[in-house]
Amino acid sequence: MFPLKHKHSFAVDVNAKQLIEIDAIAALQSLVWNDDAYILGEGTNTIFTEDFNGPLLVNRLSGIEIKESESGWHVYAAAGENWHNLVVKLIGLGIYGSENLALIPGSVGAAPVQNIGAYGVEVATFIDRVEVYDCKLHVRTTLHHEECEFAYRDSIFKRPAHRHWFITGVHFFFPKAWQPVLGYPDLARLAPDATAEQIMAHVIMVRQQKLPDPALIPNAGSFFKNPVVSQSECQRLQANFPGMPVFVQADGNCKLAAAWLIDKAGLKSLTTGGAAVHERQALVIVNKDNASGADILSLAEAIQTNVRERYGVKLEPEVRLLDEHGLIYS
C-alpha cells in the first residue's frame, strides 16, 4: 500500500494499492492501461475520501521551452511543471498575461483540465494546444484550442470517456499586445496602468490573506464552483437578498459568489468531524482535525442542502472527489 496523505493537499490519511510516477513518455508506452486507474498531478484539486483501489499515475514530466515571434511568445510547459512557478518565470521574463493566475496551486497539466481561472482571467485564453498520450491506444495526439471544449471550470479532459488521456504538455501563446485585467473588486486598489509585476504581487498578497496555506492547514482550495444562473433568476435573488454580488457574463447569465451564499447562510466555521468551513474563507473546506472522507462528504452535503433551501441554488463541487473506485459523480 502507498500512503496518499502527502499526495493530495487535503491530506486525508488513506492509501493506494499501486502508485506509478511518470517522469518520461517512455514510461507511458510500456504501461498497460487499467480502467480503474486515475491520473494525478500535484493533488491540489483532488480529495481521496477513502483507500484507492486502482493504479495511481502521478505526472512528473518536466521541461519548459520559450520561443519569441513578432506578435508574442510561444511557451511550451511539460504537464508536471508547477503552475505558479511557471507564472513567476514568465512574468520575470516580461511575458505577460498570466499574472492574475498567480499562486493557483497545482501542475501545468491540471490547468487545462479545470480551465483554472481567477480575477477575470481563464487559462484557456492563452492555451493554443494540449499534447495528450492515449494510454489505451498508445498514441500521441494534439488537441487544438477549439477541440478542448473549454468552459467555466470545465474542459473535454474532465469527461469520463477520456480518463485514459494523459496530458504530457501544454502550448501557450502570450501576445505582446498586453492589457491589464482589473475588473474584479479585489484588484480595484490597483492603478489603471498597473504593471503585470504589480498585479502578480497584489494577487499573491490577496490570495495569501484570503486562503489558508495547504502546508499549514490542509485544504484543496475552492471547494465549490461559483454557480451560474439565468438573468431572471438573478433578478429574483437580488430582490430577495439585497447586496448579493453578481457578475454578469457576456451571454447575459449571472455568476454568483458561492462564498457569499455560504457565508450569509451562516455556514462559516460549520464543522463535521474533522472537516470544517474555513473561518475566513467560506468557499474553502479545511482538514481541521484528521478529517475522514466521510466527514468531508457529510459537510459538503450539509452546505449544499442549506444553500439550496435558502436560495434555491445548487452548488457543485469544484474539487475532484474520489472514492475507492475513482471519481464520484453526482
Q: Taking phi first (over 0 means left), then psi (-120 to 50 degrees means alpha), and beta for anything else, what does residue 35 get?
A: alpha
All three cell numbers of 98, joined, read 498570466
Distance CA 212, CA 279 (A): 10
Q: 9, 98, 155, 222: which one is catalytic?
A: 222
Backbone angles phi, psi at 141, to 5 degrees: -145, 165
Distance CA 176, CA 181 (A): 15
Distance CA 14, CA 4 (A): 6
320 catalytic? Reply is no
Q: How many other CB atoms sit within 10 Å of the CB of residue 249?
A: 12
CA angle, 246 then 316 then 18, to 5°:
140
Strand order in the sheet with 271-272: 219-222, 284-287, 275-277, 271-272
Dmax (CA) of the chain: 59
222 catalytic? Reply is yes
Distance CA 154, CA 134 (A): 20
Q: 153, 163, 207, 320: which one is catalytic?
A: 153
318 catalytic? Reply is yes
Are 120 and 100 contacting, i.e. CB atoms less than 8 angstroms apart? yes
Q: What share of the chain is helix, strand, coil (3-state, %, to 5)?
A: 30, 30, 45
Instruction: Tell me the catalytic residues.
Output: 153, 222, 318
